[in-house]
């Protein structure tokens, strides 16, 4: 399946400990570039998240963010105090009061607000990390599904342009004998206007040289070969963006050569039409994984 590199996914779930929300945005990029934003307390899953994304995505700039909102319900927990620190704070305040001569009396709540007096209970984030990693799976599923749908639409448009290019190539191929006759008639008409005697054998030799120089059979064959290869590549289940980009370069090269060899207005127009189609395809290919 052809996949686009442009997609968005958002998966939010409520757990006993709170709510986890994954948001993933993907845009085109030459390589895989993962930008990750995690809550400070969940930084430990950074590497695991990157590995999980890299298994599913091979190209693209992936902006991945996780939001964690803790459960608001407060459970009654016993406050743990560092009494030694509390006593040190009270004693220090008494000493200061003795120096400055009184002042406002120290309140218990002031002591509690002093850093270190109330011991903070260390929270176990292991269950939250495990839930976040598990929830990343469905988030990536949604992202890849979106990339797949976009890729299918892009592939269909590319195939339509392949058909258009094949039609132009077939038309130019059919007209090749007419172009050769056109060149011959043009040369003979010019010689007749000049009213000069020419060596017919030498003239035929020169016409053959001109015809060989302006012959576009090889370019048409290569255009047809590249289009056939592109159709095969679009059936692949592997990331093919770089291969398609290479084929665009080759198609453009043949279209340029066709235009430079053109000996009539219709062939020139065909070369221009080819370049327009190829440029449209190239822009689309830039967004394929």
Give residue-wise pLDDT tens across range 174-196: 887 776 776 766 666 766 666 66
The whole-chain average pLDDT of the chain stands at 85
Kindly state the average pLDDT of the residues 36-61: 94
CA distances from 168 to 6, 255, 265, 267 (A): 31, 11, 14, 10
CATH number of 7-73+124-146: 3.30.230.10
Residue ranges, comma separated, of all CATH 1.20.140 domains in the chain are 150-285
Per-residue pLDDT at 3 exceeds 70: yes
| pLDDT band (50, 70, 90) for residue 1 | confident
Per-residue pLDDT at 225 exceeds 90: yes
Kindly state the average pLDDT of the residues 262-289: 91
Kindly state the average pLDDT of the residues 38-58: 94
Which is more confident, 63 or 173?
63
Per-residue pLDDT at 7 exceeds 80: yes
Give me the pLDDT at residue 62, please.
Answer: 96
Give me the pLDDT at residue 83, please.
Answer: 79
Give me the pLDDT at residue 205, please.
Answer: 66
Give me the pLDDT at residue 187, please.
Answer: 65
Which is more confident, 186 or 239?
239
Q: CATH fold of 150-285, please? A: Butyryl-CoA Dehydrogenase, subunit A; domain 3 (1.20.140)
Residue ranges, comma separated, of all CATH 3.30.230.10 domains in the chain are 7-73+124-146
């Amino acid at each position: 399946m052809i996949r686009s590199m442009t997609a968005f996914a958002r998966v939010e779930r409520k757990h006993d400990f709170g709510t986890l929300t994954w948001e993933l945005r993907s845009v085109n990029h030459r390589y895989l570039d993962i930008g990750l934003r995690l809550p400070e307390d969940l930084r430990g899953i950074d590497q695991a998240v990157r590995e999980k994304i890299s298994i599913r995505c091979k190209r693209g700039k992936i902006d991945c963010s996780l939001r964690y909102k803790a459960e608001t319900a407060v459970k009654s927990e016993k406050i743990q105090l560092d009494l030694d620190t509390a006593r040190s704070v009270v004693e220090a305040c008494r000493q200061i009061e003795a120096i400055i001569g009184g002042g406002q009396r120290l309140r218990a709540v002031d002591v509690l607000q002093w850093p270190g007096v109330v011991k903070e209970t260390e929270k176990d984030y292991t269950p939250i990390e495990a839930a976040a990693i598990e929830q990343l799976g469905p988030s990536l599923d949604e992202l890849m599904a979106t990339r797949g749908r976009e890729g299918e639409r892009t592939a269909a448009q590319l195939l339509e342009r392949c058909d258009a290019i094949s039609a132009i190539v077939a038309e130019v191929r059919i007209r090749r004998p007419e172009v050769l006759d056109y060149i011959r008639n043009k040369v003979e008409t010019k010689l007749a206007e000049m009213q000069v005697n020419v060596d017919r054998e030498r003239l035929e030799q020169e016409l053959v040289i001109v015809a060989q120089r302006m012959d576009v059979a090889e370019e048409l064959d290569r255009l047809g070969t590249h289009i056939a290869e592109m159709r095969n590549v679009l059936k692949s289940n592997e990331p093919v963006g770089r291969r398609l980009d290479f084929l665009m370069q080759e198609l453009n090269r043949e279209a340029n050569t066709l235009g430079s060899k053109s000996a009539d207005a219709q062939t020139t127009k065909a070369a221009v039409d080819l370049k327009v189609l190829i440029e449209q395809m190239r822009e689309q290919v830039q967004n394929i994984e």
